[in-house]
């Protein structure tokens, strides 16, 4: 079945540091890939997405590239802020399907 | 702004009572709504998929008699936790897919924290 594996956290960074959160997936066919962010006590917000190989999703300084050859969708940001502290979830949905499969989530803590 | 509203955001109740959680799509029609459960510091577990006017489809291992889902209109789905017990305490999150946007993305509510004493 489909699955998503994320790097374990928590990830603790200083403000303005470079961020990478690794995400790899297993899926049949060509899934769509997503990053969601969850701030404390809130639901999830879509951060970015990519629907086909080599697509780059980007939003709010975050970006991730759909790499079919390595089945990866790593999240990056060049300079993190304290306000980026949250839990980040990588997810996929199968082609033609609407169910999301989530990774375990990675806690990001940014210190000033 | 928010496109999915969930109510209540937090509820505490005694063991044995039933609790209803509402999930509303704001200013749009939702073809499909989903209910998730999230344990502390863990990922989201899909409980069921709800389509307007039809019975919900439950994931394996989820008791449909325990977690009643009603999707009476294109803007409202409810989850009722019947005869709740402390092990049902969790963070419950709904999401919705907007009519006309295909299969994704899902828009999430802010969640409901349920505490059973």
Q: What residues have CB less than 8 Å from B19, skipping those under 6 apart?
A: B11, B13, B80, B81, B84, B114
**What is the chain B residue with the closest CA to A97?**
B103
More confident residue, B1 or A56: A56
Residues contacting residue A1 through CB under 8 Å, at least 6 positions apart: none
Q: For the segment A49-65, what is each residue's pLDDT rounded down to a tens digit?
A: 999 999 999 999 999 99
What pLDDT does residue B44 have? 87
**What confidence score (pLDDT) does residue A43 get?**
82
Cis peptide before A10 (omega within 30 of 0): yes
Label residue B2 by pLDDT band (50, 70, 90). low
In angstroms, what is the C-alpha Rg of chain B? 13
Q: Which of A35, A44, A88, A103 would best serve as a mutation to test chain B binding (most B beta carbons within 10 A)?
A: A44
With a cut of 70, say whether residue B102 has pLDDT above it. no
Q: Which of B49, B29, B40 is nearest to B94 (CA)?
A: B49
Cβ contacts of B4 on chain A, cutoff 8 Å: 43
- Locate A4 and state its tokens: 């998503």
Provide block-wise average pLDDT over 10 residues at a time, chain A (112 residues): 89 97 93 93 90 95 97 98 96 82 94 96
Looking at residue B103, what is its pLDDT? 63
CB within 8 Å of chain B, chain A residues 39-98: 41-46, 49, 89, 93, 96-98
Distance separating the N- and C-terminal Cα atoms of chain A: 41
Of A45, A93, A99, the CB nearest to B108: A45
| Contact residues on chain B for A98, CB-CB shorter than 8 A | 32, 49, 97, 103-104, 106
């Amino acid at each position: 079945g489909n699955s998503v594996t994320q790097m374990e956290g928590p990830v603790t960074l200083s403000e303005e540091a470079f961020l990478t959160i690794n995400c790899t997936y297993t899926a049949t066919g060509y899934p769509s890939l997503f990053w969601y962010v969850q701030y404390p006590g809130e639901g999830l917000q879509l951060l970015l997405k990519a629907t086909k190989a080599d697509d780059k999703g980007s939003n709010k300084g975050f970006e991730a590239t759909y790499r079919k050859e390595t089945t990866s969708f790593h999240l990056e940001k060049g300079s993190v802020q304290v306000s980026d502290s949250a839990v980040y979830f990588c997810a996929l949905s199968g082609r033609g399907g609407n169910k999301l499969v989530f990774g375990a989530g990675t806690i990001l803590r940014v210190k000033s | 702004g928010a496109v999915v509203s969930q109510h209540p955001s937090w509820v505490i109740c005694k063991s044995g009572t039933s609790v209803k959680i509402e999930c509303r799509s704001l200013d749009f029609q939702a073809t499909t709504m989903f209910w998730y459960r999230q344990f502390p510091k863990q990922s989201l577990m899909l409980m069921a998929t709800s389509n307007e006017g039809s019975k919900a489809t439950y994931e394996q291992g989820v008791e449909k008699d325990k977690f009643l889902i009603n999707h009476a209109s294109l803007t409202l789905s409810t989850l009722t936790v019947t005869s709740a017990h402390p092990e049902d305490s969790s963070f419950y999150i709904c999401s919705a897919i907007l009519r006309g946007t295909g299969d994704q993305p899902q828009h999430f509510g802010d969640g409901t924290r349920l505490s059973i004493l």
